[in-house]
Amino acid sequence: LKREENMDKKIRMEAEECDGRYCTSAETKKKLKARLNRIEGQVRGINNMIEKDAYCDDILNQIASVRAALAGVSKQVLEGHLRHCVVDGIKEGRDEQIIEELITTLNKMMK
């Protein structure tokens, strides 16, 4: 857990100015991609568990693990979005548009 917290902190520190795309450095993209590749491997593992008739509780625990890992990635992307894209949009006078977009996104994330 401590290693992930340090990685999260480093990812936050490496964010760059936002130009309407995901704002991040090449190093941060590399780390997020590695995280997503691990998650992809976990999902394949769940598929294999189902194929091999693994114990349901074990499958559910793996699903919970994947959900938690995806939530971590979401938090990283959301934080970068808030710190850069949202702040920049508000500074540019697009307050209403940015806030509506953020509310819509948060509603989708919380389903």
DSSP track, 22-47: ----HHHHHHHHHHHHHHHHHHHHHH
What tens digit of pLDDT does each residue of 50-74 get?
Answer: 999 999 999 999 999 999 999 999 9
Cβ distance 62 to 42 under 8 Å?
Answer: yes
Q: Identify the pLDDT of residue 10.
A: 52
Average pLDDT, rounded, for the chain: 85
pLDDT tens, residue by residue, 13-31: 444 445 555 566 777 788 8
Query: What is the predicted pLDDT for the residue at 15?
Result: 44
Tokens 């938690």 -> residue: 68
**Overall average pLDDT of the 76-84 stretch:** 88
Contact 46, 66 (CB under 8 A): yes
